[in-house]
Amino acid sequence: MLTSDRKYSPEVIRRYRELDGRGEFKRKIQQRSPVAPNYDEVLLECGHRGEYDVRLLDRMFPAASSTLNCNQCASDWLEAAQGAEGKQA
């Protein structure tokens, strides 16, 4: 990837990795609903939804009180952080 193709600055990426490492984007699973033979829709406590492979969910997250990283919360944070950095420049 070329530097000019980067969407996020190195500082934003470093901060994201730090937050992600501390589990800041983990959200409790509120509900699982079958949507296809091998996929469930998962509703997270933040209100975001995603479709996940049942085999992955059952193997990695067997407990009903399990958590998943919310990709939408992480993306929202990245966009806001990059925007705030751009305004400071």
Domain-embedded: residue 5: no
Domain-embedded: residue 3: no
Domain-embedded: residue 7: no
> What integer is the mean pLDDT of 71-88?
88
What is the reported pLDDT for 19? 98
List, for residues 15-32, the tens digit of each pLDDT value. 999 999 999 999 999 999
For the record, the structure tokens of 69 come out as 């990283």
Domain-embedded: residue 33: yes
pTM: 0.80
Domain-embedded: residue 8: no
User: How many domains does the structure of the chain reveal?
Assistant: 1
Q: What residues contact 50, with CB distance under 8 A and at least 6 apart?
A: 41, 42, 44, 68, 70, 71, 72
Domain-embedded: residue 64: yes
List, for residues 29-56, the tens digit of each pLDDT value. 999 999 999 999 999 999 999 999 998 8
Domain-embedded: residue 17: no
Domain-embedded: residue 67: yes
